[in-house]
Structure 1
Amino acid sequence: MWVVTAWALGVALLAAAGLFWPAGPVDHVVARSWALAADDLPADPAAEQPMGEVLSAGYGHETVWVRLRVDPGLTRDRAGEALLLRIRPGYLDDIVVFDPLAGGAPIGPVGDRHPLAAQARPSTVFNLALAPGEQPREIRVRLRSQSTRLAHFEVLREHDLWRADAHSTVWGALYLAALTTLLVWGGAQLLVRRDALAVSFIALQAASLAYGACSLGFLHLFVAPGADVLWIDRLTSVMAITATGAGFAFNALLLREMQMPRWGRWLALGGLLLFPGLLVLQAVGHTVPALRLNMLLVLLGPVVFLLMALASPLGIAGQPVGDAPAARRLGLAYFWLSLLLTVVAALPGLGLVGGGRSSLYIIMLHGVVSGLLMLAMLTYRVYGLLQQRELLAAEAGYNRREVVREKAFRQDREKLLAMLAHELKTPLATVRMLLGTLGLAPQALRSAQAAVADMSGVIERCLQVGQLDDGALRVASQPCDLAELATRVVQAHPAHARMALAVPAAAPVCSDPQLLETVLRNLVDNAAKYSPPDSAVRLDLQAPSGGGVELTVRNTVGPAGRPDPDRVFTKYYRHAQARRWTGSGLGLYLVNGLVQTLGGRLRYVDEGPGVAFALWLPLAADRETVCG
């Protein structure tokens, strides 16, 4: 991975060095000036302003007139060799040259809107042969272009022109190779992790590659001299806007992973929605405002993205800043460098500052350097995500082991409880029989019998819970009367004197009478045990309606307090204040499980001064297939 990245970086740096480093040929232009004019007439010399090495006139519809002072005497030893005007970049629209030695006839036109036949020789840039003559003179260049008015003019001998063209072609090809490498490497990243960010990176590199091929003039080499090349001009403008939009999309998706603030999401969405509008504007012929707005977005976008990154709480791999400071630093470094490169690239293009030859290709450098930064971030991001995946896998393995260990522990505990329950049932039965032969006082006898009953109840619940958890509980459903079962349970309870029962004449249900009686007994025991001794326990059985019947057991809240509604049916749950009473925390868990097994529902209801448990069961007529 790092070998490919280093190769791409090396190719990109070589391409940049080749594009920016002087090619060696002697430029015969000794002075430059320029001015804007509203028509095809030459500009007033008084309105001209000195020009640096590169024309930087921004975007507009006006005609640009450039005056070049040419001195062929700089290469007197090569007198007689043809002089040619070389113009870059290769996506200017319309260029015409006026040489005083040409007898007033214009030379040209050349440009993206004209066939290539006027070119002195095939090239990725524009070149025009000047009139023969070795005396110093001034030539005028008329430039009209909607795509850009950032241009470089140089006058070279024919052999030097060949060398310069070969030089820029080779290094331009290396630049495109670097972009192709980034594109292929982005595809490899997509194979590692398929997500929107990797897809947007590939789209950005593909758009940058297409824009680079157009702007560097490589498409000219594959067009016949007399063919229409207007489509190259339009394609260049379209790809410039598309590449900017793809860059916006990549940055927006990256910031989404960093959890950019809400205002940032709205700004990013608004910015992305502008680009389809720019393409429509360009398609209907308003190329200049579309490209001007595109360049303004190129300039302002990184500022907004940097502010979003500073306000985002996570790093580039979606990691908290405190956990991954390197991810935070890498993300901020990317946005800072992107801002710096963009400002350097956009200001000359907008005509806000002048520039040297490097300003012609700084946008290319921006594309490849930002691509390398993006690739570095994607690589780091994939590394971070793989680390997170490994950590999650380790945690999952640990959790699985814990689940197995907990299951084994629970099974051992259930087996122990079952064994103790079976072993204690016989001794308890013996104790119950012997209590009547000891001659105890009536009150002591009742207390002893209640204690033995409580112990028997705990043992019975342990056995039933074990059967319920193991799925070994067998249900023998049959028609039965819930009102009759409730009356029998209340009458058999030791505290039946303080119980109030309100039931209809009959409440037929389809259920297992033994299990249903266990449910009712546990609910009544629970209400009597945890309510004040002098309070009433109410059982209200509604008349059958709506396909079922509901029995509600109500009691006043006693010293044990109210149960936690979220845990009341949890296994082994007991309120802290209820621990003074005998119990195992299995009663309501068992009751809820039995009710579900019987096809019913059990609800806990907080009624202010009291609590209630509402039991709903289906009518016998609704379960004929079972009770048949």
Structure 2
Amino acid sequence: MKGFRCYPKLAISVIFLLFSLVLPQAQASFNGSDTYTPRFEYYVDSTQTLGIDSVANLPASAFKQAPKAGYVGGYNRSIQWLKFRLPPSSGPSLLRIKPAYTDYVTLYQPDDGDFKVTERGELSEVEVGRFDRAIVFELEPVESESTYYLRIETENTSTVVAQVYTQQGYLRAVMLDSMVAGSFIGLLITLIVVNLSYQRWRNDLGFRYYILFVIASLMVFLSVDGWLLLVSPQWLKPLVSYLPQLTTLLYLLSVAVFYQALFGFALAESRYCLWISRIYQLAILLGGGALIVGAYIEYFPWFMQISVIYLLWISMIALKRVWTGSSEGRALLFAVVLGFLGILGTALSLNGIVSGGIWLLYSYTAGTLASILVFQSVMNRRLRCAEKVHLTTLLEKEHAEVLAERERQEKELKAQFISMLSHELKTPLSVISMGVSQQVITGKTRKYLIQAVSDMSRVIDRCAVLEQVDAEVYTRKEAVELVNLIGTQIEQAGGNSRILWQPPQSELWVSSDTDWLRVIVSNLIDNALKYSPAKTAISVRVECHLGEVCVQVENMVEGEPPDPQYIFDKYYRARSAHKQTGAGLGLYIVKRLVAQLGARIDCRIESLPIQMANRVVMCLCLPDRQ
């Protein structure tokens, strides 16, 4: 199996993951004189009857040591008593406790042999504390090491991650913590906005569920980290305190439906996977009922065990994708495993298996962030593939429309050609019919018959050449003496008296195909003779210019001149040309042959105001023989 490919976004996720984990530790150790981490000892009062006097008189052996990172008692209805000691202090200090969703936290601090009772941080008067999502208690200065107690009672998990600060250290900690949280929130909001802007979610169910997954991740963080509680009015805070449980259920539901769409459980071969996914979603919905009836504490530890099993099963499906050679299998496996590890750390801490609040606070954040970024790379790949398919479909559709339009035009042109051809052949056929019906054929009649046969032959010849030039004709490049070739074609044209031709004194050799060059020159001369007035001359001359030999044929036309832009198109005939027989193929054949011989031909129209006519100039340029 090949190693995982290093995606740029994956590198960003790893960096941000380390940033999220290391920064809180840097916060705690930034300045040793400004911070102190209390070491908790805990006692679980399952009877819910003990008061502070009874707990304070318990033997030391009744308390168990909690990890330095914090205390997590899991989901239960017992009262959690935490005992910790603080060294002497010369000034007031602040005890900062996270998470803030713990319902009832009471601090008992020593006061002349008794205890001073403070409920849920109500003594904090630090200005920045108004923007803190944690529970903050103000501790009075003590002259010697003193013992403090925390009483925790909650409908959520019994969790405490605490730090003692001086006022300056507290300000720094809040700003640093807000910066990390703000970065995480900003990243998720950016991902949501960017993915919504793609518009792919309108047609792609998997993309919609991915956006829902990111939104649910954001909502869990906002509720668990205390942001929603911070901005809520006082009358709404009791209701907002239930949001961590509710958003956690919504998050896990979004994970389930996203995985269902991502792995294609709705396909026929994955129906058993679909039923497993639906059973897990039903278990999530039961959590909503448990929250309503007050049984969430009993429900959630059981449900988190099911979630771990479910995510292990999803990881096995992703691993199977890797073994079957799926192009995105490794990225999917990596994202699923990262998300699983984040939820696993949360599950272990919530169930009290791992007694460390740092796992609860940061395992979900780090795992979710890393998995979202990897999933984003997968969705981006799918988006690019979908756009490529969409673009290919549009191009194919456009190509089909172009072909259909071209076919339609070809049919119209062929219909026009057949109509025009039948019209052009009717005239010489009528002449022949009238001539052969006469008992005596005079010399004049014979001349008309010969001309009619010549016209028909010319039309038929051009139709025969057309079939060849529409495909690639066979050409052979050879040295051709152009002056002699033009002279021969002028003689064969039979219009010597109308053709002004002054051949150069020396031979001019070009590199071309003799047979096809004859066809080109013959068509140019024939076209000039046919469409110019009967008593006007046409001009043929040859010039050398910059390594080319150019043949220029000029003739006058009466009435509306041809359009130089369309004069070489198949079946094109100017309005003034319909007086003569023709099929609109001569110059089209010329243009095709010229292109296949590697030459070029241009047409320009020159106005002649005095003669009240126009001059058509055809310029054929051939490469000189090297």
**Matching of residue 18 in structure 1 with residue 32 in structure 2:** no
Contact kept? 2:341, 2:363, Cα under 8 Å: no
Between the aligned residues of both structures, percent identity stands at 18
CA displacement at 1:307 relative to structure 2: 2.3
User: 2:71 aligned with 1:63, yes or no?
Assistant: no
Kept in 1, the 8 Å contact 2:21–2:366? The answer is yes
| 1:231 alignment partner in structure 2 | 239
Aligned: 1:37 with 2:45: yes
Distance in structure 2 (CA, Å) of the matches to 1:231 and 1:216: 16
- One-letter code of the match for 1:243? Y
- Measured against aligned partners, the alpha-carbon deviations of 1:466-517 in whole angstroms (never above 9, x if no partner) come to xxxxxxxxxxxxxxxxxxxxxxxxxxxxxxxxxxxxxxxxxxxxxxxxxxxx
- Is 1:151 paired with 2:151? no
Q: Output the amino acid matched with 1:85.
A: L
Contact 1:19 1:361 in 2 (8 A): no
SS at match of 2:241: helix
Alignment check: 8 A CA contact 1:8 1:182 kept: no
Matches within 5 A, 1:146-545: 146-191=155-200, 194-223=203-232, 227=235, 229-256=237-264, 259=267, 261-311=270-320, 325-355=326-356, 357=358, 359-390=360-391
Which stretch shows the higher mean deviation, 25-34 or 398-407? 398-407
CA pair 28-15 structure 1, distance change in 2 beyond 3 A: closer
Deviation at 1:400? 8.6
Instruction: Supply the distance in 1 between the matched residues of 2:273 and 2:146 (Cα, whole angstroms).
Output: 57
Cα deviation for residue 169 of structure 1 reads 1.7
In the aligned structure 2, how far is the partner of 1:192 from the partner of 1:264? Answer: 24
Q: CA deviation at 1:281?
A: 1.3
Please state how far the C-alpha of 1:128 moved relative to its aligned partner: 0.7
8 Å contact kept, 2:42–2:80 = yes
| Aligned-residue offset at 1:327 | 1.7
Q: Which of 110, 124, 130 is the aligned partner of 1:100?
A: 110
How far apart in 1 are the matches of 2:176 and 2:157? 23
Aligned residues: 391
Task: Write the distance in 2 (CA, Å) between the matches of 1:9 and 1:326.
Answer: 22
Does the Cα contact within 8 Å between 1:309 and 1:332 map onto a contact in 2?
yes
Residue 84, structure 1, aligned to residue 100, structure 2: no
Does the Cα contact within 8 Å between 2:222 and 2:228 map onto a contact in 1?
yes
Answer whether contact 2:93 2:138 (CA < 8 A) is retained: yes
1:573-603 deviation line (CA, Å, top 9, x unaligned): xxxxxxxxxxxxxxxxxxxxxxxxxxxxxxx
| Structure 2: tracts of 5 or more residues without a match | 1-6, 410-626
What amino acid is aligned across from residue 176 of structure 2 in structure 1?
H
Give the structure 1 partner of residue 420 of structure 2.
none
CA distance in 1, matches of 2:149, 2:169: 22
Kindly indicate whether the alpha-carbon contact (under 8 Å) linking 1:107 and 1:128 is maintained by their aligned counterparts in 2.
Answer: no
Amino acid aligned to 2:346: A
Structure 1 residues 337 and 15: alpha-carbon distance in aligned structure 2, compared to 1, 3 A threshold? closer
Query: Contact 1:189 / 1:378 at 8 angstroms: preserved in 2?
Result: no
Q: 1:92 and 1:190, CA in 2 relative to 1: closer, same or farther beyond 3 A?
A: farther
- 1:299-328 Cα shifts (integer Å, max 9, x gaps): 22311212233456xx8xxxx955xx4322
- Looking at structure 2, the residues matched to 405 and 170 of structure 1 have their Cα atoms a distance apart, in angstroms, of 63
Deviation by residue 1:507-547 (Cα, 9 ceiling, x = unmatched):
xxxxxxxxxxxxxxxxxxxxxxxxxxxxxxxxxxxxxxxxx
**CA distance, structure 2, for counterparts of residue 192 and residue 31 of structure 1:** 49
CA gap 1:167/1:306 in 2 versus in 1, 3 angstroms: same
1:234-275, Cα deviation, whole Å (9 max, x unpaired): 122111111111111111111116956332111001111222
- Consecutive unaligned residues in structure 1, runs of 5 or more: 73-78, 409-628
Distance of aligned partners of 1:166 and 1:218 in 2 relative to their CA distance in 1, 3 Å threshold = same
Contact 2:109–2:116 (8 Å) recurs in 1: yes
Question: Could you tell me how far apart the structure 1 residues matched to 2:15 and 2:203 are?
Answer: 28
How far apart, CA to CA, are the structure 2 residues paired with 1:228 and 1:107? Answer: 25
Report if the CA contact (8 A) 2:349-2:357 is conserved: no
Q: Distance in 1 between matches of 2:215 and 2:24?
A: 21
Change (3 A) 1:160 1:134: farther
In 2, the alpha carbon distance for the partners of 1:402 and 1:321 equals: 41
CA distance in 1 between partners of 2:373 and 2:172 (Å): 30
Post-superposition CA distance 1:19-67 (Å, at most 9, x none) = 4533424443453211211214226642321111211221111111111
AA partner of residue 141 (structure 2): P
Compared CA separation, residues 6 and 177, structure 1 to 2 (3 A): farther
- Residue in structure 2 matched with residue 52 of structure 1 by the alignment: 67
**Shift in Å at residue 216 of structure 1?**
1.3
How many angstroms apart in 1 are the aligned matches of 2:377 and 2:183?
20
Which residue matches 1:504? none
Relative distance call for 1:3 and 1:258 in structure 2 (3 A) is farther
Change (3 A) 1:228 1:303: same
Alpha-carbon distance between aligned partners in 2 of 1:364 and 1:310, rounded to the nearest angstrom: 24
| Superimposed CA distance per residue, residues 388-408 of structure 1 (whole angstroms, 9 cap, x where no aligned partner) | 445556777888999999999
- What's the CA shift for 1:332? 2.3
Paired with 1:36 and 1:198, the residues of 2 have a C-alpha distance of: 46
The answer to whether the 8 A contact 2:43-2:82 is kept is: yes
What is the identity, as a one-letter code, of the residue corresponding to 1:144?
E
* One-letter amino acid matched to 2:163: E
Give the partner amino acid of 1:254: L
1:57–1:277 Cα change, 3 Å: same
SS in 1 for 2:344: helix
- Cα distance between partner residues in 1 of 2:398 and 2:236: 66
* Structure-2-length-normalised TM-score: 0.55
**Aligned-pair distance for 1:131?**
3.1
Superposition deviation, residue 297 in structure 1: 4.1
Relative distance call for 1:311 and 1:7 in structure 2 (3 A) is closer
Q: CA 1:182 to 1:21, structure 2 compared with 1: closer, same or farther past 3 Å?
A: farther
Q: By how many angstroms is 1:95 displaced? A: 0.6
